[in-house]
Amino acid sequence: MFKRHPKNPIISSKDIVSSNPELKDVSSVFNPGGIQFGDKILLLLRVQNRGRETFLVKAISTDGVQFGIENEYIQINGLDKIDETVFHIYDPRITKMGDTYYVFAAMDVVGKCLLGIFKTLDFTSLEFLGFTGDEDNRNGVLFPEKIHGKYARFDRPNKMKVESGVTTGSQIWFSESEDLIHWESKEMVMEGRLHFWDEMIGAGPPPVKTEKGWLLVYHGIAMHYQPIYQVGVVLLDLDEPWKIISRGRYNILEPREMWEMVGQVPNVVFPTAMICENIDENGNANLECEVKLYYGAADTHVGLATSTIRKMIDACYA
Ligand code: BMA
């Protein structure tokens, strides 16, 4: 149901061109945050250099396929106000509320991964607002509107240590906040399905509102001999988004192309941005709207696949 764009992978390491030695001949570019930015599409690319250091680089496009990529990474202000050593800031997820763009990102600090929140009005720089908790957590996605008067997000607490030593998780939670910094876990939304395609899970791009419910794209990992990262979809109640209306039985995208199966981490499609340009005055995505899904492939490239909201909702019932 998702069609890969013929120009895939749409962004690769050779597309990062910079005179900054830190961005010279980089290893990989993947897991981009993305948002409609005026009449353009903006991506925040996760770029990894040969020191395995991470940078966020802005890219802008009019057609969503051909991107003009900045030759410098985006400046992040406000990190000096914290004591922790931050090793990496990565996997950004972007949500617009009013005139402000908020970015949730994973932040590796000593011994754990925390969720940080940032804001910007124009993406000339990002302002770090703070960590949104002190427990290991990842895949935070902010809703584009408040739910029952509070900011709302899905997140994925990491409670499990797997063989590689990495912490991961198998539950997506609904959390709420008065101020975007202090979050309270409210309801467990869904769990991994052992033995099937989505044994471990985490939210993908921020949820998209439709007249049928909140549409959430998520990643699921089959914990086989080697993990296989795939993409799935679930429809959630508009008023109580922790309640599932229907969850797709099948993945809707899985590693099949060589550039998805081979790379820094093999067999990974990891969705982080979903753009639907046709949103009505109630904030609902039009059912026939084309959806652009941007994803990291094998932790090495950026891929693009398209579908429609209606087909994605249908997939929730398949
Ligand atoms: C997840 C995250 C992602 C990464 C994926 C595959 O746990 O770390 O950033 O793309 O693993 O390696």
- Give the strand pairing for 75-77 and 125-131: parallel
Report which ligand 1 atom has the smallest distance to the Cα of 264.
Answer: 12
- Look at residue 217 and tell me whether its pLDDT is greater than 80: yes
Mean pLDDT along residues 118-145: 97
CA 270 to centroid of ligand 1, rounded, Å: 7
Two structure tokens written together for 41: 């599409």
Contact 48, 73 (CB under 8 A): no
Residue of the CA atom closest to atom 2 of ligand 1? 91
- Look at residue 9 and tell me whether its pLDDT is greater than 80: yes
Mean pLDDT along residues 258-266: 97
Two structure tokens written together for 198: 């989505």
pLDDT score, position 299: 98
pTM of the model: 0.97
CA 152 to centroid of ligand 1, rounded, Å: 23
Hey, how many other C-beta atoms are within 10 angstroms of the C-beta on 109?
18
State how far the Cα of 227 lies from the Cα of 223, in Å rounded to an integer.
5
Hey, how many other C-beta atoms are within 10 angstroms of the C-beta on 114?
21
Give percent of the chain with pLDDT exceeding 90. 94
Contact 284, 244 (CB under 8 A): no
Secondary structure tally for the chain: helices H, strands E:
2, 24
In this predicted model, which residue has the larger pLDDT, 169 or 152?
152
Q: If you average pLDDT over every residue of the chain, what do you get?
A: 96
Query: Any residues with Cβ below 6 Å from ligand 1, and which?
Result: 31, 91, 229, 265, 268, 270, 296, 299
Give percent of the chain with pLDDT exceeding 70. 98
Tell me the C-alpha to C-alpha distance, in Å, between residue 266 and each of 85, 149, 227.
Answer: 29, 42, 9
State how far the Cα of 180 lies from the Cα of 177, in Å rounded to an integer.
6
State how far the Cα of 207 lies from the Cα of 24, in Å rounded to an integer.
35
- Look at residue 159 and tell me whether its pLDDT is greater than 80: no
How confident is residue 225, by pLDDT bands cut at 50, 70 and 90? confident
Domains of the chain: 3-316 (2.115.10.20)
- Reported as a single tens digit per residue, the pLDDT across 52-111 is 999 999 999 999 999 999 999 999 999 998 999 999 999 999 999 999 999 999 999 999
Two structure tokens written together for 63: 């057609």
Hey, how many other C-beta atoms are within 10 angstroms of the C-beta on 180?
17
- Look at residue 224 and tell me whether its pLDDT is greater than 90: no
Residues whose CB falls within 8 Å of the CB of residue 248, separated by 6 or more in sequence, listed in order = 232, 233, 234, 315, 316, 317, 318
- Look at residue 170 and tell me whether its pLDDT is greater than 80: yes
pLDDT score, position 169: 77
Mean pLDDT along residues 172-191: 97
